[in-house]
Amino acid sequence: MCGEVQANLPAYVDRSLPRIRRRLVGLHLRRCSECGEEFARQRDVSTGLGRLSQPPAEPPEGLLEQLLEDAARPGVKGRVAVPARGAVSGARPALSVALLVAGAAAGTGLGYAGWRGARAARSRLRR
Ligand SMILES: [Zn+2]
């Protein structure tokens, strides 16, 4: 159950989960502290991403050049990836990437759902 619930958490967080599944996940989250904590963490990441995506993320001047310069230096390549991994509040690297991707997908998914909902409402009015 926990595995299934946690697999559904990204969709639960961005509200793209079907209502019945949403209710099941919500019930489980109230009973299971482990999944509840995982939910809180994903929600925080998701809202963090939302805040980040408000203003276009401008990398500091010269940062890219600096990174390229560092990466070109022999022996530094392995270390360059480390700060990026730790950037998402100590989460497991693979999971962080998955969450970032899920968050990005959620943004578009929500927009689409809103558009579809508005369209459905309009067509109901016409009848
Ligand atoms: Zn659980």
Output the pLDDT for position 83: 54
Output the pLDDT for position 36: 97
pLDDT at 42 over 80: yes
Distance CA 63, CA 112 (A): 34
* Spatial CA neighbour of 97 closest among 111, 78, 84: 84
Output the pLDDT for position 87: 54
Å from CA of 39 to ligand 1 middle: 10
Output the pLDDT for position 92: 58
Output the pLDDT for position 58: 62
pLDDT at 33 over 90: yes
Å from CA of 96 to ligand 1 middle: 20
Percent of the chain with pLDDT over 90: 32
pLDDT at 88 over 60: no
Distance CA 47, CA 23 (A): 21
Percent of the chain with pLDDT over 70: 57
Q: Which of 58-67, 86-95, 118-127 shows the lowest mean pLDDT across its residues?
A: 86-95
Å from CA of 79 to ligand 1 middle: 36
Å from CA of 6 to ligand 1 middle: 7
